[in-house]
Chains A and B, each alone.
Chain A
Amino acid sequence: MKLTTPQFLSRVGFSAFAAILGALFALPLIWFIFAPFNARAEMGLALPDPFTFSNFETVFGNSLAIHALLNSLIEGVGAVIVVGIAATLAAYALSRSSIPGKGAVTYILLLFSSVVSGSAAMVPIFLIVSALGLIDTQVAVILVFAGGLLPTAMFILRDFIDGIPKSYEESAMVAGASPVQAFFDVALPVIRPGIVVVVVWAFVNVWGGFLIPFILLRSSEQMPASVAIYSFYSEAGTPIVTLLAAYSLIYSLPVIALYLFVSWRFGFRFFGGIKA
């Protein structure tokens, strides 16, 4: 097909625009990959010369920063266990039982979840946690994260479970299984892909969460990585770019690994997660 001149120009213009836009997004990622291996990295983009691991050596020497990764892991795993178990049980009950108004419950919870973990609720949350005497504990961080993530997790899982025929559990119960047996033997294995999706999503949220641990934790030994990243800022508040870059890369690796693992093992399928 032959293009007219204005059409041709508009195509060229659009392609150029798209290329610039793409580059704008790609540049930070390229920096993110190169800077950690460059001992003289600055905010500008540069190929590492020489290619070095010295930044990582310094980072690993910072025991606070390394310990922060462990704290992140504790928070992530803790929140995931709470969210995974609670969301599965709640979503199963909401899906299978015939309680009137169960749909409304899910939607109201979903509405409030953005408030619970949002900055608007930070003052009351701080006061509650402080009244419970849980300030500066990982338990507080885990509970607040779990509270914020649960409604959405329940919503996704409930929709997933709705799509699974009831006859699985029914056939198990007719065959002699108690409801609990039917749940563990039959329903749970069938729901598992949905749980994995929710668990990974929750973990990534906690791992990257900043505001909640920043407010609820006081001592630097308790800080997760998302907060500890500030230990690579100088007294004057300027970032030490080399160390920051190296630490950021380490910080992001578990999430990347997790995505790759799940996508390889289960595949990311939001089975009817959101109805069109």
Chain B
Amino acid sequence: MASVEFRSVTKSFGSFTAVDHVDLSIGDGEFVCLLGPSGCGKTTSLRMIAGLETPSSGQILIGGDDVTGLHPKDRQISMVFQDYALYPHMNIADNIAYPLKVRGESQEKRHARAQEVAGVLKIGDLLSRLPSQISGGQQQRTSLARALVYPSRVYLFDEPLSNLDAKLRLEARGFLNHLQRDMGMTAIYVTHDQAEAMALATRIAVMDRGRIVQYAPPIEIYRRPATTFVANFVGNPPMNLVPVTARAEGDSVRLSADGVTLAPLPLSAGLKAALAAGPTLTLGVRPEHLSVTEEADNSIGGKLFANENMGPESLVTMERPDASRVTARIFTDDHVEVGETVRFGFAPEHVTLFDGAGTRIPRDGEAGL
């Protein structure tokens, strides 16, 4: 296993910059997820680690060695592809053992090792079949087995679970998590599914338009999203964002917006700096921190727009006077009717504020970002 480092890596395709001066340091044995919407540069970043793309500028290091210009075969890495890329003319055993074949291992050794790895992944009885003769989940395991069959310094995953149905995806996710811990592998995992990233990663790098917006452990990303982009991307459903106008009154700040009542906040250093740039801020509060309330203090008002029952809890969405929507995750027992006027209440400590540029305003006493 080895560490991976990006040093000011840029990759352009013609006039399009897919990855823009990215610095990233991944420790030995870490499980890092590159998370972002399609086109954010996460897959290109992964492919540069694999050597399938060459950076336009910058350096990539694996285990401290500069591998920027190295051919993929010389990097001692493994990669699981989104489409699995199983060779249709080889049976499962030969598919799994292919990396050993190119390493010049003997037929018996290859077979024994393929058998062993296939056993761990519970596809041991499929070895003589062709890829077209097994199910999607089994194909996924085969491609994983092919990545595990030889010693690697870094394991790369390019949305490996996106072609599986929901139940299999959960199962495979759990298995991957277990496997990574067991082997202590350095894993870099590309996904656009925030739940997958939260569940698997030791650290998540959230990417947007070729840049890393935030690189932190999942809980940090969840609790302290660096920008409105992260806030809006992570969480299911994501954080509610409401534009508010701030007015300083002595050493407190009053925030106001249509239908929003909020007790004045103390004027922190961060808020002071944000207000210097302009009075428009964004108030963020997670759906799970909202509840239906009668009280006017610290609440958002509107008309109930939708009520989706998810079993023990429900997602209720209100439409505010300016037609923007706010979603709350509440207990199904808290009965509300669509069309009713409702208020969603929240505790002041659950409020996250973003400045005019969309950057989170740190609270007092909290280390700066």
Contact = CB atoms under 8 A, between A and B. Distances in A.
A167 B50 CA distance: 12
Given A181-B102, A185-B98, A173 B71 contact: yes
Contacts of B98: 172, 175, 177, 185
Interface in B84-106: 85, 87-89, 98-99, 101-103
A175 B146 contact: yes
A173 B87 contact: no
A141 to B, nearest CB: 35
Nearest to B103: A176
B79 interface: yes
B277 interface: no
B223 interface: no
Interface in B60-92: 71-73, 75, 77-79, 81-83, 85, 87-89
A171 B89 contact: no
Contacts, number: 66
B79 A171 contact: yes
B102 A167 contact: no
Nearest to A171: B85
Interface of A: 165, 167-168, 170-178, 181, 185-186, 189-190
Interface of B: 50-52, 71-73, 75, 77-79, 81-83, 85, 87-89, 98-99, 101-103, 143, 146, 150, 156
B87 A174 contact: no
Nearest to B52: A170
A177 B81 CA distance: 16
B73 A173 contact: yes
B81 A170 contact: yes
B103 to A, nearest CB: 6
B81 A175 contact: no
A142 B143 CA distance: 44
Given A165-B83, A170-B72, A175 B99 contact: yes
B6 to A, nearest CB: 18
A147 B71 CA distance: 35
Nearest to A164: B88
Contacts of A178: 71, 73, 102
A176 B89 contact: no
A168 B85 CA distance: 5
B102 A174 contact: no
A171 B103 CA distance: 14
A178 B101 CA distance: 12
A175 B79 CA distance: 8
Contact of A189 (B75, B89, B150, B156): B89
Contacts of A168: 85, 87
B150 A176 contact: yes
Nearest to B75: A174
A173 B99 CA distance: 9
Contact of A174 (B72, B82, B89, B103): B72
